[in-house]
Amino acid sequence: MSEVLKNPVSLRNRVYGTYLIQLITAIIVGIYTRVLYSNHSLMTRFIHDQFAKDYLEELLSPYGEVQAPRRVAGEARQIDVWFAPAPQSAGAPEVLGLLGRFAATPCLFEPFRNPATSQEICDCLLKMLEVRGEYQREANRNNTSIQEAALPRLWILTPTASEALVSEFRAIIDKSWLPGIYFMANPLRTAIAVIHQLPRTPETLWVRVLGKGSVQKQAIDELEALPVDSPFRWNALRLLKNLQKNLGITQNVDQEDRELFMRLAPLYDQDIERATREGRELGIQQERRTIIENLLRVRFGELDEQLSAIIDRLLALPAEEFAPILLQLSSLSREELLARFA
């Protein structure tokens, strides 16, 4: 009979020790798994948060001062995006639609990738009240009073929000604004913009880009369909492409982010290809212009107004006619050239 069987206490201790080791191992694996999940969640949230800050800064900077982020007094807190319209700016930048209306006055933006929780909204309100305190202290130093309308407004941008959450903050719809925007009591100067409740119209496009899932994908489709020379289109696509690259180097992204990654993959590259092609064509045109100008200078000396005027008409010739004309320039008289192309 083995030593273990002869000694039941030893057997019990060994079994208990094995169980204890397995239990400790399971706990460590569980903690490690939660840490990995937490780190992944924080990483993807940071990527989307940074995109939202860069996106708002890019769109609003032509119209005033943007700080993203902006430090506030008190504990180490930062406003995601703070905006103050330039003094010379006449009203809201209409090209930005609803976002421009948000930015018509000094404001704070707190965009959320995932639905904002009650606690997160409270944190936003705390930042807003600290900013209000800064304004009050400045007024006290200058021995002046604060006009309520001069205080900045806080815009909390969240993809979705339950009716219970909105009711919890006594936020209500203002009929002079679009559906999906809920205003808290006037002294709080705060509104919750529920992106997925906004009408899917061109006016809301620049806000809906910050949504999630199908709402964001539709906004990207609309953004891509804008005319190539549309204001901010190129910059927005560039930022979306950066978002796609950052998602690409993040491990274990969830299904929603994988779908977003695939949707963003062809963006911007198509624009780069188009711009390269247009640039190449522009380069060819510029090269042709230089050749014509040099030939005319050699033939007639300095280019006067009449000779300069025919250059664009020469450039408009199809390729099969352009080359023969170049050969004739050295033999045509000024009168013949002007009679033909003036």
pLDDT confidence of residue 121: 96
pLDDT confidence of residue 270: 62
pLDDT confidence of residue 169: 96
Enumerate the H helices of the chain as residue ranges.
Answer: 3-6, 8-60, 98-102, 118-141, 163-168, 205-208, 213-225, 233-248, 255-264, 269-300, 305-315, 319-328, 334-341
Length of the chain: 342
| Residue 166, phi-psi category: left (phi > 0), alpha (psi -120 to 50), beta (remainder) | alpha
Q: Which residues of the chain have pLDDT under 70?
A: 1-45, 69-76, 89-92, 250-252, 268-284, 330
Residue 28's CB is within 10 A of a number of other CB atoms, namely 10
pLDDT confidence of residue 17: 41
pLDDT confidence of residue 44: 66
For the CA atoms of the chain, what is the radius of gyration? 32
pLDDT confidence of residue 4: 41
pLDDT confidence of residue 15: 38
Residue 219's CB is within 10 A of a number of other CB atoms, namely 22
Dihedral over Cα of 71, 72, 78, 84: its sign: negative
Query: pTM for this structure?
Result: 0.65
pLDDT confidence of residue 42: 53
pLDDT confidence of residue 285: 74
- In sequence order, the 6+-apart residues with CB closer than 8 A to the CB of 187 are 148
Closest CA to 79 of 110, 43, 48, 40: 110
